[in-house]
Structure 1
Amino acid sequence: MALILALLDISKQDRFVKYHAWQALLLWIPVIGLWIASWVISMIPVLGWIMGFLIGPLVILFVIGIFIYSIVLAVWTYQGKYFEVPVIYGIAKKYME
């Protein structure tokens, strides 16, 4: 959804929507990359299985945490609040220009 809003012409007219769409998109790109990397590591025989068993639950907790954080940010956006996600704010600001 964030990708669609970030790229649509409608969002280009509304800076508020575009800004928050870019933040959401940039928040989830590393999360998906981490999930894919942990999945690939867990596919390696023996060592990968051990690493997947140890790191897998941490990755799952991290993804759940980011999901809950995203829901909170979505509610704040719906309420019209302007917020800055640490680190991602600077990158999203560059895409706004």
Structure 2
Amino acid sequence: MSETKIGLSENITAVIAYFFGLISGLIFLVIEKENKFVRFHAAQSTVLTIAVIVLSVVITIIALIPIIGWIIAILSMFVYLAVFVLWLFLMYKAFSGEMYRLPMIADYADKLEGMF
């Protein structure tokens, strides 16, 4: 494992990129110009966080509809639990040194990575 611009190993830096979501993802995309591993995980973290924010807004809007919204609001707890488990899984994969690619999210992450 190689070191990154901030002096940590690349797997630890990739975990941190997931830990603070959008904020740490964007910071590492800007700071880390050479380490492809960290840049990928930072970009994937950023795109995933944006997707979760959009999903949260949609769920909140649907939750305003009487009866159907209440059911969706209750079911959303399971969605947020799944997102939390996914977040832990991605941090584990980053710590293990694996570039695990989420379907669709990783494609957008590749495009985002190229922008910075």
Q: Which band: TM-score by shorter chain?
A: 0.7 to 0.9
Q: CA deviation at 1:27?
A: 1.6
Alignment correspondent of 1:12: 33
How many matched pairs?
Answer: 93
RMSD: 1.8
TM-score by length of 2: 0.68
Alignment correspondent of 1:35: 56
Identity of aligned residues (%): 29
Please show how residues 9-88 of structure 1 align to structure 2 within 5 Å.
9-43=30-64, 48-88=65-105
Unaligned 5+ segments in structure 1 are none
Structure 1 CA distance, aligned partners of 2:53 and 2:61?
12
Sort the Cα spacing of 1:60 and 1:79 in 2 relative to 1 into closer, same or farther, 3 A.
Answer: same
Unaligned 5+ segments in structure 2 are 1-19
Sort the Cα spacing of 1:2 and 1:18 in 2 relative to 1 into closer, same or farther, 3 A.
Answer: farther
Q: CA deviation at 1:84?
A: 0.7
Whether the 8 Å contact between 1:5 and 1:17 is mirrored in structure 2 is no
TM-score by length of 1: 0.79
28-37 vs 57-66, which moves further: 28-37
* Greater share of residues in helix: 1
After the TM superposition, which segments of 4 or more aligned residues of structure 1 sit over 4 Å from their partners?
A: none
